[in-house]
Amino acid sequence: MKVGVVGNPRYPGLKSVLHHVAAQAPARGIDLYSEERLGEFWNHAIPSFEGVELDALLTFGGDGTLLRGARLCGAREVPILGVNLGRVGFLTTATRETLDAALDALVAGRYVIERRQALQAVIKCDDGTHRVGQVAVNDVAVHKGGVARVVRVNVFIQGDNVGPYSADGIIVATPTGSTAYSLSAGGPIVVPGVEAIIVTPIAAHTLAVRPLVVPASFRIVIEPMEGWADDLLVSFDGQTGTTLAPGESVDVRRADHRVCLIRLGGDGFFTRMRQKLHWGDLSEREAVR
């Protein structure tokens, strides 16, 4: 079984975790392949997974590491098993304490795959050409660089102009991303499996603008208003990005492939909401007598 490994070097325990994985893999019939930047963290040489047809991918870190792993997999739909080394890890399914059991389940096929919707975004130039095609699992955001400053854009959904938006930015999110940046900006939680795209303004400057939930088959185009294209940035999952020049727009649609997340045991979506987002938690309230 060919298993790739992606990790976040900022976690202090990463080296010991990778040494443990390297020791456990042979007995389970696992051949390990690593992203190149982890070379110094292994206790012996592990080949790169670039160009290798992987059976699964292990990510060690938090949700950001899992998102980066999904991007590295591209359109190959490799099952991803996220191991949380941080605090929340909403998208991950294992911890360092459950790692051995997770490896056993992976080899035995005792898991469920959640096929998550992703977004494909391109920057459209004023001459009709495209540049910077990127895939996002969580969201695509248009915002200003540097300190918080207002953006003014027109948002088109299926070619229909929703109207001008005046806000600190615009987020286009998947159901997976509805519990990330979009949620912090006041967007709704959309259960994974619902085929939808969420359009959420960041700190809208009018009460008449609210988050929208549209069918996943719709295309969303964000076009800066004339005179408001300076210093605009487009970010993908908050990890990579590009500038947006005058005359350019952002065209977002559902990606042709899915991101395959491995789920172990009974950690359902609402269980994770209760445990990791503390949904409905009243434990800190004093009882009213």
Has 256 been annotated as catalytic?
no
For residue 171, list its beta bridge partners.
Answer: 141, 200
149: which DSSP letter?
-
Q: Does residue 168 contact residue 153 with C-beta atoms inside 8 Å?
A: no
Q: Which of 63, 139, 237, 251 is catalytic?
A: 63
d(Cα 165, Cα 210) in Å, to the nearest integer? 10
| Residue 22 identity (one-letter amino acid) | A
Quick check: helix, strand or coil at residue 121? Answer: strand
Identify which of 26, 22, 23, 16 has the alpha carbon closest to the alpha carbon of residue 34.
22
Distance between CA atoms of residues 72 and 137, nearest Å: 12
Which residues belong to the active site? 63
